[in-house]
Amino acid sequence: MLKSIWFIVNIALLKGCFAETPETYLLKSHSLPPDLNFMPTLGNGHLGYTVFGDAIFMNGVYNGAGGNSKRARIPNWLNISSEVCDRFGCASGEDVEVNGTSYEMDLRDGYFRERTTYRKLGFTVEQRTYTHKFYNRALVYEVVVTRLDSRNTRANAPKFLKLTQYPGNSSDAFDFVLVSNGSSSSGDYRTLRGRTKVLEFEKFQTDPQEIFVLFSQSLEQPLQVQWPTWQEQLSYSIIITMDRDESVARKELQDVLKLSSRTLLQKHTESWNSFWDNEFSIELKGDALELSQIVNAGIFYLVSSLPSINTNQKNEPFYGLSPTGLGRGNLEADYQGHNFWDTEIWMLPVVTQFGLEYAKQVLDYRHRKLEAAKYHANATGYKGARFPWESAYTGTEVTNPCCPEVAQQEIHISPDISFALQRFYSQSLDKEWACNTAWPIAAEVAKFLVSRASCDDSQNMCHFLKVMGPDEDHPDVNDNVYTNAVSKIALDFAEWLGPMCGNTSTELFERWRELSDRLLILQDEVLNYHPQHQGYILNTTVKQADTILLGYPLRFDISSTHLNDLRFYANATRESGPAMTWSMFSANYLVSRQDKLANEYFERGYKSYVRPEFKVWSETPLGYEGSANFLTGIGGFLQTLIFGYGGLDFGRVGDQFSMIIRRTLTPPNVDEIHINSIPYEDAKCSFTIRFQSSEIVCWDRFGPGFQMVQDQRRTFLGRSFNFTHRNEDPPIEISFLR
């Protein structure tokens, strides 16, 4: 059985190498989005930019004090445009027929291109840009011009290419100085050194951040490249490399320039193809071309903000995922490139499926910023570690001065992080990581919660007073149910993890247990639902999914009370709510088998949020101003597909961790969803989800093998298995034999 599985994987690989990009991975448009913020955002975890935008951003590089800290804008020197000219002038838009230009985002090969045909003048121009996935300090611009008829080299055939750079205004974040002018005689490259102007918080940042930018070719003045009439095709590349370390940026440029442009592109596309073929993909069968494109684009835009795992030079530490990704962060609408709960609650559950290493690098940011979170707890009068609502370079609070109450009151971010640690452990089962990375965070968060709670001994009850839940329309409330529920999970996890990691502070554990037991979970006995907070009146409008999260993702309450929450809050949620709100209604309706509603909300969760041209997400539905490249919405949408429709779950009951397969469903017009591949500890699984059943294939080459528990019967499955689960069967639990 094992052999046949590997065989299939290999066939897929071979096909990938030689195939044209399938339609499901090719986003093609003859027109640009009316708002250029909805152009594709490309990135590789080190650098990112939005096509045609005015900025390039580098992982972890911010400028500005406290709440004014935002990603430090580097002018978009990659925004280059080529014209074909002769001594009388250059070909212009007027020489292009209607629809003669096509803009394409190739998701499978990982680049953006613009192709223009000048039929009358007899040539085509193709321009490509991308952030290299393997040489990840490098940004690439490439132009290829081709004569349409090689025999007809007319006298008026074009003579040269003119490359012009449009980087936008100079940067207000950096002081740039010219280190070298890149005279070709000395074999040197044009080099700029940039230093950020303002520190974020002196206690945790002593010096400005410094970056080096190297250019293969200066484009300060437009560059002319000769195109002899006898030459059928001409190609020209501009490479820009950037790093905090000048020698790293220099080596990257040298390494890249050793390659032909064809090999350079091939290295990049191979790296992307390998992601889709070996790391993760979702394939939909049925009448689902557009939905497939949205799914693939969603995965692509998320991965673009994550570090490449396999790179030419060692990566720097990763500074986390921001709601609009690495390629944005200059605007208020870009959340200034900060980290929020969006990272752990909305994006991470999907990122984990791409590979455990991606999730580790995301969570590692929180681990590295634990000292800052402890400082923040102390500075605001509490113990333990309090993660700021928004964080950037230093890990201290950087919430925009506009909105101090979210920073003061959205304390749920800290237990959200613990919840994510537990969820990741349930899937990775990595004890070393759990004790080195998760435990220090979980313990400090538990201490914070104890110090933040207000307990009433006479009633044997504890509360969180003056908080704000995910529903930001309601500040200053007591006992937000979501906050209290996720805090219970965080306390229980810390209490479980401590002894597992050999810690013997039983007094601490008892305190955590006691708080968890005594925290109030509001419930209305008459209407049998959870009021969102003390004094919540039924039908009061809320901003977004809040109390309903008790079902999925918290799995804290899936009783009839939760079903009523779904009923009541569905009507009370704002029309203009963010995308993932509707995705969460869908995921929860799937759990409760209300399939019709689940399908309705699933469609509502993406249809009016995704802009048509390049399937870029907006935070708000069409007609409302909202953030572009909204990865948080993508996270909610893909979670619904994988954990809602796919019926998949990883969980803990007591000391027992398992992968759980529940009933499955396919969205409207989709016959089959194939998910390849889900990591489970060191094993891999793939799922084929059909309307009434699912097929699960797992293989664990070197591990102890799997067992299955169904109806309390245990079955040994061996090191690989291929199992069909029908919807009428009870859920199955799969775990490792130990």
Ligand X SMILES: *[C@@H]1O[C@H](CO)[C@@H](O)[C@H](O)[C@H]1NC(C)=O
Looking at 16, 168, 651, 731, which residue binds ligand X (CB under 6 A)?
Answer: 168
Least distance between ligand X and beta carbon 634 (Å): 25
Q: Residue 520, Cβ neighbours under 10 Å: how many?
A: 16
115 near ligand X, rule: CB under 6 A? no
Looking at 556, 568, 585, 617, which residue binds ligand X (CB under 6 A)?
Answer: 568
Looking at 5, 225, 406, 709, which residue binds ligand X (CB under 6 A)?
Answer: 5
Choice between 99 and 186, CB closer to ligand X? 99
11 near ligand X, rule: CB under 6 A? no
Site size with ligand X, rule: CB under 6 A: 33
541 near ligand X, rule: CB under 6 A? no
Give the residue from 179, 243, 181 showing the smallest Cα distance to 210: 243
Neighbouring residues of 310: CB distance < 8 A, sequence distance ≥ 6: 134, 271
Looking at 166, 176, 204, 236, which residue binds ligand X (CB under 6 A)?
Answer: 166
Tell me which residues in 28-47 interact with ligand X (CB under 6 A).
Answer: 30
2 near ligand X, rule: CB under 6 A? no
171 near ligand X, rule: CB under 6 A? no
**Structure tokens given for 154:** 């007319």
Tell me which residues in 274-333 interact with ligand X (CB under 6 A).
Answer: none
Beta bridge partners of 693: 726
DSSP-assigned letter for residue 172: S
Choice between 76 and 664, CB closer to ligand X? 76
Report how far residue 373's alpha carbon sits from residue 386's, in angstroms, rounded to the nearest whole number. 5
Looking at 351, 697, 698, 734, which residue binds ligand X (CB under 6 A)?
Answer: 697
Phi-psi bin for 340: left (phi > 0), alpha (psi -120 to 50), beta?
beta
Report how far residue 323's alpha carbon sits from residue 627's, in angstroms, rounded to the nearest whole number. 9
Q: Residue 107: helix, strand or coil by DSSP?
A: coil
How far does Cα 467 stand from its chain's mean position?
27
- Quick one: which segment of 377-385, 420-428, 542-550, 630-638 binds ligand X (CB under 6 A)? 377-385
First to last CA, the chain: 22
Maximum CA extent, the chain: 97
526 near ligand X, rule: CB under 6 A? no
Instruction: Give CA separation, 42 vs 130, 214, 466, 710, in Å.
Output: 7, 20, 40, 44
Choice between 178 and 622, CB closer to ligand X? 178
10 near ligand X, rule: CB under 6 A? no
Contact pattern for ligand X over residues 576 through 615, marking x by CB under 6 A: ----------------------------------------
**Angle of CA points 234, 105, 348, to nearest 5°:** 135
| Radius of gyration, alpha carbons of the chain | 27
722 near ligand X, rule: CB under 6 A? yes
Contact pattern for ligand X over residues 457 through 496, marking x by CB under 6 A: ----------------------------------------
Contact between 353 and 279 under an 8 Å Cβ cutoff? The reply is no
505 near ligand X, rule: CB under 6 A? yes
Looking at 218, 235, 278, 727, which residue binds ligand X (CB under 6 A)?
Answer: 218
**Residue 415: what residue type?**
P
How far does Cα 273 stand from its chain's mean position?
18
Give the residue from 481, 407, 483 showing the smallest Cα distance to 445: 483
- Quick one: which segment of 3-11, 202-210, 257-265, 727-735 binds ligand X (CB under 6 A)? 3-11
Residue with tokens 């208020």: 332
Which residues in this chain contact ligand X in the complex, by CB under 6 A?
A: 4-5, 8, 30, 52, 54, 76, 79, 81, 98-99, 166, 168-169, 178, 181, 218, 378, 381, 383, 443, 503-505, 508, 538-539, 567-568, 571, 695, 697, 722
